[in-house]
Structure 1
């Protein structure tokens, strides 16, 4: 739960940095990477920021569902940290779907943990109440 919250905060900070200092660059798919466990084809995308060449592996979406070598891809890179990059149109660095999913999982886990803890505390009190001798009972 704490790890999920930390990851969400980190993604949020990265998104804010990209929103403030992001520059649009055109990347070119230099290599197609075969499907991983998710079953999606990703591409190794080369791009240049401030005269320096960088490479990132992303799964293009929208107009690029199946990347091919040589495809041009719109990217947003942070001016001061050009390795921080996202596809144009994404709101978070790792894609629009990952952040809301992570937020939902973290919220559900927090609620579940609170429910289980509350239930455990109530049961412990019930057991303690049954085990203590009552002042009304004759001994």
Structure 2
């Protein structure tokens, strides 16, 4: 008697979106952390030794992905600062008061501001916790799925082992009983011959 093999239970598939979301959220968290750290570092360096210069607005943000641009000169060299928060009503060619770090002319902010790009700092403050929370949710979901796969695989192996053992036992039973009967017959026949 042959026993039918029990197929292992089907494991639910986890979409690739969870893995993609985990990677993207981790990249977003790291990128925003670096952006916030860079802004804070530049603000600290400017605050340590601020040097005031006068800049000129050369470009205004148009809303199509372009940023504002302010040109200024430090030590006879021309520099350009992008994405500075300009006041409403600013026009191209207007003078702008700027502060830059004494040891780095590229670290520049508008006079009176704390950070070179306050919008980036605010974005980092809100986006980093959201990205970290999303990353943790994705990791939790992936780990839960893998545990479910491990449990289902273990149950499938146990069911297959039990099925094989039951089949082997069922196939072996007639041989065992036939052997006992044949021994009984031999013993009974031997006793009759003696009598």
Who is 2:72 aligned against?
Answer: 47
Q: 1:103/1:88 Cα in 2 relative to 1: closer, same or farther (>3 Å)?
A: same
User: Greater CA radius of gyration, 1 or 2?
Assistant: 2
Q: 1:69/1:9 Cα in 2 relative to 1: closer, same or farther (>3 Å)?
A: closer
| 1:5-44 mapped onto 2 (5 Å cutoff) | 5-29=33-57, 31-33=58-60, 35-38=62-65, 42=68, 44=69
Q: 1:129/1:54 Cα in 2 relative to 1: closer, same or farther (>3 Å)?
A: closer
In the alignment, structure 1 segments of 5+ residues that lack a partner are none
Q: What is the DSSP-based 3-state SS (H/G/I as helix, E as strand, rest coil) of the residue aligned with 1:100?
A: helix
Report which stretch shifted further, 117-126 or 98-107: 98-107
Q: Distance in 2 between matches of 1:96 and 1:115?
A: 29
Q: Does 1:72 align with 2:95?
A: yes
Greater RCO, 1 or 2 (C-alpha within 8 Å, sep 6+): 2
- TM-score under structure 2 normalisation? 0.55
Structure with more helix by fraction:
2
Q: 1:133/1:27 Cα in 2 relative to 1: closer, same or farther (>3 Å)?
A: closer
In the alignment, structure 2 segments of 5+ residues that lack a partner are 1-26, 163-195
Q: 1:17/1:126 Cα in 2 relative to 1: closer, same or farther (>3 Å)?
A: same
Q: Distance in 1 between matches of 2:94 and 2:114?
A: 22
Q: Does 1:107 align with 2:134?
A: no
Q: Distance in 1 between matches of 2:66 and 2:71?
A: 22
Q: What is the DSSP-based 3-state SS (H/G/I as helix, E as strand, rest coil) of the residue aligned with 1:11?
A: helix
Q: Distance in 1 between matches of 2:148 and 2:83?
A: 54
Deviation by residue 1:47-90 (Cα, 9 ceiling, x = unmatched): 344565534344443xx323224422121111121222111232
Report which stretch shifted further, 46-55 or 121-130: 46-55
Between Structure 1 and Structure 2, how many residues are aligned? 132
Q: 1:59/1:17 Cα in 2 relative to 1: closer, same or farther (>3 Å)?
A: closer
Q: What is the DSSP-based 3-state SS (H/G/I as helix, E as strand, rest coil) of the residue aligned with 1:23?
A: strand
Structure with more strand by fraction:
1
- TM-score under structure 1 normalisation? 0.73
Q: 1:58/1:117 Cα in 2 relative to 1: closer, same or farther (>3 Å)?
A: closer
